Amino acid sequence: MQRRTFLKSASIAGVGTLPVVSAFSNPNMIKEPGKTFNMNYAFHDGMFSAHAGNDFIDQIKFAHDQGFRSIEDNGMMGRTPQMQSRIGETLAKLGMQMGVFVVSSNGWHWEKSLATGEQEFKDLIVKDCKEAVEVAKRTNAKWMTVVPGNFDRSLPMDIQTANVIDGLRRGSEILEKNGLVMVLEPLSDNPDLFLRFSTQTYMICKAVKSSACKILFDMYHMQRNEGNITNNIDTTWDEIGYFQIGDNPGRNEPTTGEMNYKNLFKHIYNKGYKGILGMEHGNSLPGKEGELALIKAYRESDSFL
């Protein structure tokens, strides 16, 4: 399921019509509201809508009560500047962080793009990175997801790779000046996507040679594309800037699939990672029951110390 559709489906599954319920008055809620986690997990809009309602601001406050200290929002560039500022102000007030948002409000990266070397796409990544700088200012963001797009099968692979590197250097120049970081995400959504493996992404980051170009290591996608997660994290470690989570199969919360996230979290923690891990997945169950199951799953997987 593609990034732009799975979160919408997950949100619909979790929407409830009941009013906001305080974590402190709900007898079924986690017993230690406000207790933080060992790692910094970032939830998405819709994950807690059954408890907190559809307003993302209320969901942020609810998640903070449950111990979460970060958010992600793939569609942040599509929100109004006013809403972006509201989110940024709320996070600052609560002492929370903004995780990734996706660079590109028009979806160009889902089609044949940077791999072509065409000027149109070089211009688009420059334009989008400039806009991303302004969004980052309003939301106190540092990281943004970049996907090069699909293969151009009319060109040799090495030429496509060179074209991608050239395009990413142009975007990195803009972000680096502003202390921001694009994180390149290899994906498993379909075989037409150019960027698919952690080692391939590592090579491209080395070639771009910028502090503003790092790897987004989404463990769900990498489990599907290459497996051997712990070893590949170690191999590409010095270029990893960000992690994302999703169990496989199903792309839901940890403990619902085959991946041992307690061990993965422990490994990443022991390597000294202090950044955000994005919860880019759905809820396995709908409604309040599903949201409580999600919180329980993170408490269980986070109990590695």
User: How is the chain split into domains, by residue range?
Assistant: 39-301
3 state SS of 262: helix
Has residue 12 got a pLDDT over 60? no
Q: Distance between CA atoms of 45 and 55, rounded to whole angstroms?
A: 9
Q: Please give the Cα distance from 182 to 263 (Å, whole number).
A: 27
pLDDT at 104: 79
Residue-wise pLDDT tens digits, 38-70:
999 999 999 999 999 999 999 999 999 999 999
Question: Which letter does DSSP use for residue 141 in this model?
Answer: B
Q: Supply the pLDDT for residue 109.
A: 57
At residue 108, the pLDDT reads: 53
Burial status of residue 11 (CB atoms within 10 A of its CB: 0-12, 13-18, 19 or more): middle
With a cut of 60, say whether residue 183 has pLDDT above it. Answer: yes
Architecture, CATH, for domain 39-301: Alpha-Beta Barrel (3.20)
pLDDT surpasses 60 at 218: yes
pLDDT at 20 over 90: no
Mapped onto helix, strand or coil, the DSSP state of residue 73 is coil
| pLDDT score of 65 | 97
What is the model's pTM? 0.90
- Coil, helix or strand at residue 34: coil
pLDDT value of residue 29: 52
pLDDT at 13 (0 to 100): 40
pLDDT given for residue 266 in this prediction: 98
Contact by Cβ (8 Å): 196, 159: no
> What average pLDDT does the segment 260-267 reach?
98
Closest CA to 20 of 291, 282, 280: 291
Residue 272 pLDDT exceeds 50: yes
Residue 2 has pLDDT above 90, yes or no: no
Question: What whole-number percentage of the chain has pLDDT above 90?
Answer: 85
Q: How far apart are CA 279 and CA 305, in angstroms?
A: 21
Check the CA dihedral 58-45-201-157 and report its sign: negative
pLDDT digits 0-9 by tens, 106-147: 555 556 689 999 999 999 999 999 999 999 999 999 999 999
CA angle 194/239/210 to nearest 5° reads 85
Short-list 218, 237, 214, CA closest to 226: 218
Question: How high does pLDDT run on average in the chain?
Answer: 90
Query: What span, in angstroms and rounded, lies between the C-alpha atoms of 105 and 247?
Result: 27
**Tokens standing for 14?**
């979790």
User: Does residue 28 register a pLDDT over 70?
Assistant: no
Give the span between the Cα atoms of 24 and 21, in whole angstroms: 8
Q: Which residues touch 177 (CB under 8 Å, ≥6 apart)? A: none
The stretch 6-24 carries a mean pLDDT of 39
Tokens 């996070």 label which residue? Answer: 91
